[in-house]
Amino acid sequence: MNTFNFQISKELPADQIEAGRKLFTSETSFLKGVVAMNGLPTANRPEVCFAGRSNVGKSSLINGITGRKSLARTSNTPGRTQEINFFSISDKLYVVDLPGYGYAEAPLPIVEKWQSLLRAYLSGRPTLRRVFVLIDSRHGIKKVDQDIFDLLDKSAVTFQIVLTKIDKIKVEDIKILIERISQDLSKHPAAFPEILLTSSNSGEGIKELRAIITNF
Ligand code: GTP
Ligand code: MG
């Protein structure tokens, strides 16, 4: 455990891992893309969402956990996901892919429209059980991430940091990165005290993420 009590997610029990595997190998489907708050599906089941800067790997991770290569559209160009995309997992829960915040290759008025929708969604969805905030392990936490943390603190929605593209950084740099992130998170009451390390390329952290989601 480090000084700030934030730690890398522990190994989960085998039965929880198995429950996660089962849930995500059952029926998963794209439900709808939403462009305005009044288009959200009825809030009648638990929901988790993937937030993060443009290009951090949100859609790739959703493909990773569902085991479906192109369920969510991914791209090299920041700003690929332009709607709030709802995926239904076994009719039991929603997994939600969000447009990225921060830099995106799209006209400013359009980006501003996504940003206000994103903020409205993150602060006003009663069934939202956890926000996974994805951070690119090569870049760490930026000002735009801090703004989202502040918003989630205010709306009292628990968020968990998921480091992405862990295949791209050296093992010895991970410890330094975690220390730095822990320091930032210690200021945020809504932060969940475990950080998950993932790679959609190598598959690291995928079964753990499934297992975590199964608990909702
Ligand atoms: P927006 O929808 O634009 O906000 O992006 P996003 O966060 O959904 O990112 P997306 O999943 O589209 O991935 C962006 C780029 O990162 C793509 O070129 C992916 O192939 C790449 N990528 C995603 N995950 C990983 C990973 O774990 N490792 C590596 N090396 N590349 C990744
Ligand atoms: Mg995307």
Which domains can be identified in the chain, with CATH numbers? Answer: 7-214 (3.40.50.300)
Cα radius of gyration rounded to whole Å, the chain? 16
CA 72 to chain centroid, in Å, comes to 13
Measuring from atom 5 of ligand 1, which residue has the nearest CA?
A: 55
Q: What is the dihedral of CA 116, 89, 57, 177, to 10 degrees?
A: 100
Instruction: Tell how far the Cα of 77 is from the centroid of ligand 2, in angstroms.
Output: 10
Which has the minimum average pLDDT: 4-8, 72-76, 206-210? 4-8
The ligand that comes nearest to the alpha carbon of residue 85 is 2
How would you write the chain as a 3-class SS string?
Answer: CCCCCCEECCCCCHHHHHHHHHHHHCCEEEEEEECCHHHCCCCCCCEEEEEEECCCCHHHHHHHHHCCCCCCCCCCCCCCCCCEEEEEECCCEEEEECCCECCCCCCHHHHHHHHHHHHHHHHCCCCEEEEEEEEECCCCCCHHHHHHHHHHHHHCCCEEEEEECHHHCCHHHHHHHHHHHHHHHCCCCCECCEEEECCCCCCCCHHHHHHHHHCC
Structure tokens at 21: 């595997």
Taking each helix axis as running N to C, give the angle between helix 171-185 and helix 143-155, from 0 to 180 degrees, rounded to the nearest 10.
50
| pLDDT-derived band at 5, boundaries 50, 70, 90 | low
Amino acid 110: pLDDT:
82
Instruction: Tell how far the Cα of 147 is from the centroid of ligand 1, in angstroms.
Output: 22
168 lines ligand 1 (CB under 6 A): yes
Q: pLDDT tens digits, residue range 116-148? A: 999 999 999 999 999 999 999 999 999 999 999
- Pick the more confident residue, 114 or 49: 49
Amino acid 41: pLDDT:
97
Residue 162's nearest CA partner among 118, 212, 128 is 212
- Pick the more confident residue, 111 or 97: 97
Average pLDDT over the chain reads 92
In the predicted model, is pLDDT for residue 2 greater than 60?
Answer: no
85 lines ligand 1 (CB under 6 A): no
Measuring from atom 18 of ligand 1, which residue has the nearest CA?
A: 76
Instruction: Tell how far the Cα of 75 is from the centroid of ligand 1, in angstroms.
Output: 7
58 lines ligand 1 (CB under 6 A): yes
In the predicted model, is pLDDT for residue 1 greater than 60?
Answer: no
The pTM of the full predicted model, rounded to 2 decimals, is 0.96
165 lines ligand 1 (CB under 6 A): yes
Q: How many CA atoms lie within 13 A of 80 on its CB side?
A: 15
What atom in ligand 1 is closest to the CA of residue 99?
4
56 lines ligand 1 (CB under 6 A): yes
Instruction: Tell how far the Cα of 10 is from the centroid of ligand 2, in angstroms.
Output: 27
Amino acid 4: pLDDT:
52
Measuring from atom 28 of ligand 1, which residue has the nearest CA?
A: 165
Amino acid 3: pLDDT:
45
55 lines ligand 1 (CB under 6 A): yes
The distance in angstroms from the start CA to the end CA of the chain is 25
